[in-house]
Amino acid sequence: MASSDMKGFFRQKKKLGVSKPKSLKKSPKTKHSASCGSDLVQPPALISHGSLDLKDEYDDKEEVLRQFDMNMAYGPCLGMSRMDRWERANALGLHPPKEVENLLRAGKVNSECLWDGRV
Partner 1 sequence: MAAAAAPMEVDTGNGVFQRKQAMYKSLDESFEIQKEMYRGQQYSQIYFARLHLMRTLLYSLLPTWKPHLPICTVLGLEEGKECIIVGTLYKHMKLKPSILDEYSKERSASPLVKPHNFVHSDDYLVLEDESGRVKLRGSLLLPSVYVTGIVVALHGKETGAGDFMVEDILEAGLPHQIELPLNSGEDKYVVFVSGLSVGSSSANPLHFQLFVDHITGHLGDEKEQGIAAHIVQVVIAGNSVEFPRGLLNGQNLGSKDQSRLSEPIKELDILLTQIAAGIPLDIMPGTSDPANFSLPQQPLHKCLFPGSAAYNTFRSCTNPHSFELDNVRFLGTSGQNIEDLARYSDAKSKLEFMERTLRWRHLAPTAPNTLGCYPFTDRDPFFIEKCPHVYFVGNQEKYEASLIKGSDGQVVRLICIPKFAETGTAVVLNLRNLECHALSFGTQFSS
Positions that interact with partner 1 (CB under 8 A): 72-73, 75-76, 78-81, 84, 87-88, 91-94
The least CB distance from residue 85 to partner 1, in Å, is 8
Q: Closest CB to partner 1 among 16 and 78?
A: 78
3-state class (DSSP) for residue 81: strand
Q: How far apart are CA 12 and CA 16, in angstroms?
A: 7
Q: How many other C-beta atoms can be found within 10 angstroms of the C-beta atom of residue 90? A: 14
3-state class (DSSP) for residue 70: helix
Q: Closest CB to partner 1 among 52 and 100?
A: 100
The least CB distance from residue 2 to partner 1, in Å, is 40
Q: Closest CB to partner 1 among 72 and 106?
A: 72
The least CB distance from residue 92 to partner 1, in Å, is 5
Bridge partner list, 112: 81
Q: Closest CB to partner 1 among 59 and 84?
A: 84
Q: How far apart are CA 52 and CA 113, in angstroms?
A: 26
